[in-house]
Structure 1
Amino acid sequence: MSAKKTNYSYIGIAFILLVFGIIFVPRIVDRIKGGDVTRTESRTKDVSTDAKGYVSDLLFLEINGEAKKVPPFSFTNHDGKTITNKDYEGKVYVVEFFFTTCPTICPRMNRNLVQIQNTFADFEDFGVASFTINPDFDTQEVLKSYADNYGITNPNWHLMTGDQEEIYALANIGFNIYAGENPNVEGGFEHSGNFALIDKNGFIRSRKDDFGNPKIYYKGIISEEEKVDEDGETEEISILKEDIAKLLKED
């Protein structure tokens, strides 16, 4: 990933369109230059009154009229086991795309995830899904060494490798989180520095921004300790922790 700080903001440009003077329709547009693929239209739906049991105030991302779920996937994790989306059923988890030789943002992202891991160490229904975008190099053995070096101990944190086209489709289409090869950037690959938050039923969830629209993803690069980076971007690890806690309370 390029080390330019302008690449830190990939998501979050929201336009509020006033229709018939009373209806606000949020449209989320991701900048390809910033990293994430442009979506046609995305809205959110608060289904707390429709669902049985407790549902938090976090929004459900709605695309083309349906709440967005994690698509089916099947890859090999750092222990050599086949992991699918079904292994995360009943768990709250964070999703990232990374690669082990990333010289810029990945180390910062994974240090933040380890901190989150340690915060929720007592919760058996919390996990992380890390997908490498350089599977040719990031074999099971390489991922295992990476996990050991970073202190990844949560049994529900799987660093996964597999077919590159399937991983890229999962990132760019399944999550609308940009990932791709680029020989002109440091490390040879570029990807979003954002995290996706998934609830126990496999739905992508997020909180509202100041305008009532979904944040959709959470900035994964800036640490809680930093608070802001040199471009004035505010950290979102603290709010991600708050929202994980909310989802863990859901039925």
Structure 2
Amino acid sequence: MSTKKTNYSFVGIAFIILVFGIIFIPRIVDRIQGGDVTRSESRSINVSSDSEAFVSDLMFLEINGKPKKVPSFSFINQNGKTITNKDFEDKVYVVEFFFTTCPTICPRMNRNLVQIQNTFSSFENFGVASFTINPDYDTQEVLKAYAETYGITNPNWHLMTGDKDVIFELANIGFNIYAGENPNVEGGFEHSGNFALIDKNGFIRSRKDNFGNPKIFYKGIISEAEKEDEDGETEEISMLKEDIAKLLKED
């Protein structure tokens, strides 16, 4: 092929490119400005964290394959106000069953809860639900005095009293936390020293054990300072604090 012919070919190709640019590029620009052309094909879509709900790695307690939700309840708190499960909506909270004249585990449980209260004092959406299992003695006035003695200041910490049978049903069936009367034990009542952790949507949550199953509850008797009890059981208050913080970040 001659040099002259080759130059003609290059001129022809250049002319075609020029014509294409004059005719089609303005049209493409108009389509982009008009919103007809998107760029999602050539780059990944960046989804803002605000548009996607954050869920922590904590597990749900499941009953018959369904996450267990806190049942409805209605009791009177230490200030004489009616408190229901609705008052805890959009809040992360810890549940305990106790009684004010308990001579054994309750004082230790509530000192631990006060420490947790103080850790999350700046969070308006953190609370505690304390249900007395001796409502005949633990009136609103008794609960108020108890709250003052222990330094309970969180406005979302409700110490509640009501019908004994309803409270026992709430403990044993609603939260799967054992509570009952026993005249043969010191104090006349026996109950679990565990805490339940509830998320903002009212579901019982916990972390996994070594086998991948939910731990369900947190030991409430042993303090962080103690590390472990005389039987070698380790404390879980630090674990509970970590998991409260996780749930507070959930949407």
Provide TM-score, normalisation by structure 1.
0.79
Cα distance in 1 for partners of 2:188, 2:61 equals: 31
Q: What is the 5 A alignment of 1:87-166?
A: 87-166=87-166
Q: What is the SS of the residue equivalent to 2:117? A: helix
Question: Aligned residue for 2:71?
Answer: 71
Q: Which amino acid aligns with 1:170?
A: L
Consecutive unaligned residues of structure 2, counting only runs of 5 or more, are 1-51
Cα distance in 2 for partners of 1:137, 1:62 equals: 35
Question: Aligned residue for 1:29?
Answer: none
The structure with more strand, counted as a fraction of residues: 1
Deviation at 1:178, TM superposition (A): 0.5
Q: What is the 5 A alignment of 1:171-182?
A: 171-182=171-182
Alpha-carbon deviations, 1:182-203, whole Å to 9, x = none? 0000000000000000000000
Alpha-carbon deviations, 1:122-146, whole Å to 9, x = none? 0000000000000000000000000
Deviation at 1:211, TM superposition (A): 1.3
Cα distance in 2 for partners of 1:165, 1:230 equals: 34
Alignment length, in residue pairs? Answer: 200
Q: What is the SS of the residue equivalent to 2:122? A: coil
Cα distance in 2 for partners of 1:212, 1:66 equals: 17
**Residue identity (%):** 86
Q: What is the SS of the residue equivalent to 2:222? A: coil
Q: What is the 5 A alignment of 1:23-38?
A: none
Cα distance in 2 for partners of 1:203, 1:75 equals: 20
Q: 1:189 aligned to 2:182?
A: no
Question: Aligned residue for 2:168?
Answer: 168
Q: 1:203 aligned to 2:176?
A: no
Question: Aligned residue for 2:13?
Answer: none
Rg larger in structure: 2
Cα distance in 1 for partners of 2:127, 2:141 equals: 21
Q: What is the SS of the residue equivalent to 1:197? A: strand
Question: Aligned residue for 2:27?
Answer: none
Q: What is the SS of the residue equivalent to 2:61? A: strand
Alpha-carbon deviations, 1:203-242, whole Å to 9, x = none? 0000001111110000000000000001000000000000
Deviation at 1:151, TM superposition (A): 0.1
Consecutive unaligned residues of structure 1, counting only runs of 5 or more, are 1-51
Q: Which amino acid aligns with 1:184?
A: N
Q: Which amino acid aligns with 1:55?
A: V
Question: Aligned residue for 1:9?
Answer: none
Cα distance in 2 for partners of 1:226, 1:210 equals: 23
Q: Root-mean-square deviation (CA), in Å?
A: 0.5
Q: Which amino acid aligns with 1:172?
A: N
Cα distance in 1 for partners of 2:76, 2:83 equals: 6
Question: Aligned residue for 2:57?
Answer: 57
Question: Aligned residue for 1:4?
Answer: none
Cα distance in 2 for partners of 1:228, 1:113 equals: 17
Q: What is the SS of the residue equivalent to 1:211? A: coil
Alpha-carbon deviations, 1:106-137, whole Å to 9, x = none? 00000000000000000000000000000000
Question: Aligned residue for 1:15?
Answer: none
Question: Aligned residue for 2:17?
Answer: none
Question: Aligned residue for 2:215?
Answer: 215
Q: Which amino acid aligns with 1:161?
A: T
Cα distance in 2 for partners of 1:91, 1:144 equals: 22
Question: Aligned residue for 2:233?
Answer: 233
The structure with more helix, counted as a fraction of residues: 2
Q: Which amino acid aligns with 1:169?
A: E
Question: Aligned residue for 2:10?
Answer: none
Cα distance in 2 for partners of 1:66, 1:234 equals: 30
